[in-house]
Amino acid sequence: MSLSRFRGQIVLAADICLIFMFNFLLFLPSLLRRDIHLINLVLHIGLLTVCVLVFQLVFRTYNTLWRYAESREYFVLLMGMSLGFLLYSGVNLLLGTERIWITQALTGSSLALLAMLVMRFVYRTYRTKITSRSAEGRSHAAIIGAGAVGVSLLGELVNNPQGRYIPYCLVDDAPDKVGKRVLGVPVLGPINDLRELLQNTPVTEIILAIPNLSPRRQTEILRLCAATNCRLHILSDPMSQLKGEKTSLAASVREVQIEDLLGRQAIQLDNCRIKKFICGKTVLVTGGGGSIGSELCRQIAGYAPRQLVILDIAENTTYDLQNDLLHLHGADFPLSVEIASVRDRKKIDRIFAKYQPQLVFHAAAHKHVPLMENCPEEAIKNNVFGTYNTASAAKKYGAEKFVLISTDKAVNPTNIMGTTKYLCEQVLQGLRAGSRTEFAAVRFGNVLGSNGSVIPLFKKQIAYGGPVTITDKRIIRYFMTIPEAVQLVLEAGSFARSGEVYVLDMGEPVHILDLAEKLIRLSGYTPYVDIKIEEVGLRPGEKLYEELLTQSADLRRTENEKIFVEEKPIIEESDLKDWLEELAAVVETGSRQQIFQVLHQLVPTFRSPEDVNREAIQAVREGQAAHLEDLALVQNV
């Protein structure tokens, strides 16, 4: 049987022995000279021991795990001994005993207290050495930030010898902290010297524990961490930890997330406006099991809809989303799930007749560019005709608003996916005439973290040991996160008037090569040494540089400075039906050559990516684009 169950009793017995031993030794000369009697000595030592133990038990000293003890625990031990001695002295004064007993007992108690402290220090040192020997599988970590959050995290790591991290140092910019020690761990600095500070040390992990960092400073620190080839982790939402929303800081240490790599703050939109827009209404989300659709459903559920209807053909992801929503919002949450395809016009009509949705968010689409290049007929069936079926049902059953999830690839498209999305936007313009339903589209760029996007692919390739593949080292893209994209959709939906296309100002472009190198470094590896980066060539339909959407002269700002709107001209419904019939006929033939010919006729701006990329490269060579931001504009020249 383990002795750990009786730890408190063992320490109690040791303290009794120490008090008895030191006091007996002090009185031993008097006992040998027979100045005192043995029975009196035993009674006095017994009284002193009882008085001391009364206060130690009151203060629950023996419930302390001494290997984790700090100054408070040692102070309580001192208080218990002092108060115990005072009680003993009071009893002796009341009994009128000689002062020699009190004087000798003071010396004996002091020596016993010193021995008790030494015993506890020795035990703590022994435990620390034992656990450090069993540090297999644990990593030495440097904590960036010696403020309240960093020190609190350090305390947890120090007191958890079985945890993942062994604290090696704190790194901070404050001159009054650098050179000091906290819980035995040195504070180094400044942060800008991080690479030099960690050279020739066993540190393999870095934990960023500074709250309220500006995006610019966070980007700088990420760059410094990347230069060390240590794996970086970040303490998520540290201020909420301090407020007690979670009990463990160490449990909130996470890997670098997509948002951390953006180099800007996440865009926050008007939640009050969105709540007013959604609260109490029946909302239908098509493609609800996908990356964008599922986040739409999660955010909509937080705004108290009267009913949320999820429609998707993919049952597995939709089932997972259903379980998540019911777990978060309770079994009584008004949720309905329909497994159906937007291609099935009759089924879509029955669903609209059943639920009579007031708001429709149409996220169902085929979106993978290379796959759609090889299967253009499927992109047309799902994207164009699926949008037509859903939008027509919304118009027929009097939905208030229909919001299409579109893409920046619909602007001057160079691929089938972008071309079909352009036609989806045109479908809305053909259905608006005489409709109570307001049709609008929301157009945004690449969504970090969505299924099939570049970050999950890079992470998977890094986990496999490489290589990380990029199509072309010159590629730049504009990025937003899934929550940002969904907030844009919801707020734009609240603005929406028929015929409008909403666009998000996505800030600065990002080099995909830089993104790959940074992710490799922050995963603790060296690019081109530990993990190779291979250039595999542009995929079918892929551009080197995406359009800078907010530079169009046709755009105007909305109430939100990050959201722009473009008004598109109406299309006669007869013209819409004519080109839909033409598309349907060519899809039935199965001839991809004919499909491409018809698409080029319907979308005059549809050009081959080779032509667009050739012009962009030539423009760069001729010096027409002095800055990277300009590269996104040259396709319009």
The stretches of 38-98 forming alpha helices (DSSP H) are 38-58, 71-95
SS3 92: helix
Identify whether 483 is preceded by a cis peptide bond (ω within 30 of 0). no
- Kindly name the residue from 409, 421, 518, 568 that is annotated as catalytic: 409
Rounded alpha-carbon distances, angstroms, from residue 200 to 228, 309, 527, 541: 11, 58, 20, 48
The total of other beta-carbon atoms located within 10 Å of residue 412's CB is 18
Candidates 470, 474, 450, 471; CA nearest to 531 is 470
Contact (CB, 8 A) for 157 and 250: yes
CA torsion sign, 545 to 548 to 549 to 552? Answer: negative
Dist CA 5 CA 192 (whole Å) = 48
Residues 66 and 123: beta-carbon distance below 8 Å: yes
Active site residue 409: yes
Q: Which of 503, 484, 512, 631 is CA-nearest to residue 558? A: 503
Rounded to whole angstroms, how far apart are CA atoms 411 and 404? 15
Spatial separation of the C-alpha atoms in residues 230 and 521, rounded to whole Å? 7
Q: Looking at this protein, which amino acid is placed at residue 456?
A: P
Give the whole-angstrom CA distance, residue 104 versus residue 24.
Answer: 10
Strand order in the sheet with 555-557: 335-339, 307-312, 282-286, 359-362, 401-407, 438-444, 500-504, 563-567, 555-557
Report the largest interatomic distance among the alpha carbons of the chain, rounded to a whole angstrom: 124
Q: Which residues are catalytic?
A: 409
